[in-house]
Structure 1
Amino acid sequence: MAHISEFFGHLATDKSEAAIRAAEDKHCPYLGETCVKRLSDGTISGACALKPATSGPVICCPIRLYADDYRIIRDVADRAFGPGMAFVPGPRARLESKKLGRPVVGVFGKRWGGELRLPQRQGVGGYFVDWVLALVGPDAGLVEFVAIEVQTIDTTGNYRASRLGLLEPSRRIVNSTAGLNWENVNKRIIPQLIYKGQVLQREEGCKKGLFFVCPTPVYQKVMTRLGGQAGLTTVHLQPAAITFLGYDYAVDAAAVQPGASVPLALEVEHTTTVYKLQERFSNIELPEANVYRNAIKIALGEV
């Protein structure tokens, strides 16, 4: 059981004119245009985050992480190339660098410089990452680059009842059958990070590795599955590095003014290697011996 806690960029509890208008217009404040998140029937979703019954809100839309004018992109660039770099759409980076007489960061990704054309893996885009940041100089051209993967969490069930409640003039908060698909951490997210990290480690120009941006609760689930952050050796940025950046709400909902969006803050940062990630993922923790036998004996009344 969960309900939508953030809808078209505004808290579900926000009944301001701005919140109501955003829902009416289906407007995403982080893109500055119509929300692109869709339900299975094509209906515009508008759900930025869900609030499960037993935990705090969890961001479920990747676009929500692009708040503050794609701040996460700048956070990565600051760590990889140094602060204060100019950002330009990727295809224009060489020209802009020559014009300015200094290096710039060329951004390749949706609504920026477009996605890079990469070879497909067995008919699918298994190599693709969400963003590539290329450091481009006026004379040297491409100096180096880093890749960014952005993930939130998929949902199970559906939140249609919750969505319909928030579309009413009273903006009712209604529980729904929706839940969070944490099993995707094991089945999809970690294997993808390992595979893409290994691909990038072989790239001559990728000197700082892969950056993984996610909500803090997703980061915590990943760390739980891997046996805790302490088991993932901390390293400096390097070709085989994977850097986790976990973001969550910077302030409590009660501190947010009506009509305003909740700001995000970088809460956790940890750099390890793809090899350590793979080692920990493969290190399955087994239960004590005879758990089946003991369960049967209890069921038979022998214990």
Structure 2
Amino acid sequence: MQGPELIFVCPKRFYAVDFLKEVIDHCWPGDKPQNPQIAREVKMEGFGNVDFVIADVKKNNKIEQFLSVELQAIDITGSVFPAYQALRIGEDLEKKPTYGFNWDNVYKRYITQLIRKGYFHHHWKSKIVAVIPEQVYQYILGRAGFMRTAEVKKDPQVNIIFMTYRLEKDPDKVGEYKPVLVNVEGTSHTNLQNAIMYKDPPQRSAFIDQIKSSLARGAVKISDLISAGDISSVEYDDD
């Protein structure tokens, strides 16, 4: 049974299952690796780290094939910690805590990073696997319709693979939930990038209406913005 309101807010929740084995089972191209070894927090020159790299290490310590793996939960705003702390000590809260899901941050930040990392892996003739909640994946699909294929092992265009999970009741542990694999679909960095960047533009007339609406609320002068400290001082002609 699925928990409809449950979503991963911490990437470590994926650790409840052997997701790296599932990456090998579902995403590794060709024959299974003979000597898979896991590297953590591997630095990408000029662009941060990747969470894990599964490398097939030969006897001479040569690495011919590898897959990178990135974990991503949903970002939250505010904090649920006061409610958790009150529950633990059996006290009431003075006021309702404020918190929410920051869907846009995941979409804008994570997908941008994934496109760039997918581009790197394209040049390395490898792939990067994004392990994410199913709800986050569906949100991304709702915002950007990109090419997807289930042939993630064989399609040479695929350099980004989405491996999605949802939380379902654990039959072996009463009251607990565990991650269950839902989707494994691949795309390319170019398809993902184009789907996000080249959306159908709004009508020019609609944008003109927005300009008029903003001006109706009150036009501003550059000098006023400088005085308020909203922008730095620049030379301008106020005539």
Normalised by the size of structure 1, how large is the TM-score?
Answer: 0.59
Instruction: Mark the CA change 1:157 to 1:132 in structure 2 (over 3 Å): closer, same or farther.
Output: same
- CA RMSD in angstroms comes to 3.2
Per-residue Cα deviation, 1:98-157 (whole angstroms, up to 9, x for no partner): xxxxx2101001xxxxx33553x2xxxx14211100012335732210101111121112
Alignment counterpart, residue 274 of structure 1, candidates 157, 165, 189: 189
Structure 2 partner of 1:116: 42
Counterpart amino acid of 2:13?
Answer: R
Measure, in 2, the Cα distance between the counterparts of 1:76 and 1:181: 27
Structure 2 partner of 1:132: 53
Instruction: Mark the CA change 1:195 to 1:118 in structure 2 (over 3 Å): closer, same or farther.
Output: closer
Percent identical pairs in the alignment equals: 25
Alignment counterpart, residue 137 of structure 2, candidates 219, 227, 237: 219
Instruction: Mark the CA change 1:261 to 1:138 in structure 2 (over 3 Å): closer, same or farther.
Output: farther
Counterpart amino acid of 2:37?
Answer: G
Unaligned runs of 5+ in 1: 1-50, 86-102, 110-114
Measure, in 2, the Cα distance between the counterparts of 1:77 and 1:171: 47
Structure 1 position 66 matched with structure 2 position 4: no
Higher relative contact order (CA 8 A, sep 6+): 2
Measure, in 1, the Cα distance between the counterparts of 2:88 and 2:192: 43
Unaligned runs of 5+ in 2: 217-239
Structure 1 position 107 matched with structure 2 position 54: no
Q: Name the SS for the 1:130 alignment partner.
A: strand
Per-residue Cα deviation, 1:26-82 (whole angstroms, up to 9, x for no partner): xxxxxxxxxxxxxxxxxxxxxxxxx9xxx72221100001113xx111111123067
Instruction: Mark the CA change 1:117 to 1:276 in structure 2 (over 3 Å): closer, same or farther.
Output: closer
Measure, in 1, the Cα distance between the counterparts of 2:142 and 2:51: 25
Counterpart amino acid of 1:159?
Answer: V
1:1-303 aligned at under 5 Å gives the runs 56-68=5-17, 71-79=18-26, 80=28, 103-109=34-40, 115-119=41-45, 121=46, 126-138=47-59, 141-169=62-90, 176-204=97-125, 206=126, 209-227=127-145, 231-234=146-149, 236-237=152-153, 238=156, 240-251=158-169, 257-258=173-174, 261-291=176-206
Instruction: Mark the CA change 1:290 to 1:132 in structure 2 (over 3 Å): closer, same or farther.
Output: same
Measure, in 2, the Cα distance between the counterparts of 1:178 and 1:189: 20
1:148–1:213 Cα contact (<8 Å) kept: yes
Measure, in 1, the Cα distance between the counterparts of 2:92 and 2:165: 27
Structure 1 stretches of 4+ with a deviation exceeding 4 A read 81-85, 169-172, 292-297
| Shift, 1:184, TM fit | 1.0
1:104–1:135 Cα contact (<8 Å) kept: yes
Q: Name the SS for the 1:138 alignment partner.
A: coil
| Shift, 1:294, TM fit | 6.1
Instruction: Mark the CA change 1:274 to 1:171 in structure 2 (over 3 Å): closer, same or farther.
Output: farther
Aligned residues: 206
Instruction: Mark the CA change 1:138 to 1:261 in structure 2 (over 3 Å): closer, same or farther.
Output: farther
| Shift, 1:186, TM fit | 3.2
Structure 2 partner of 1:39: none
2:75–2:106 Cα contact (<8 Å) kept: no
Q: Name the SS for the 1:129 alignment partner.
A: strand
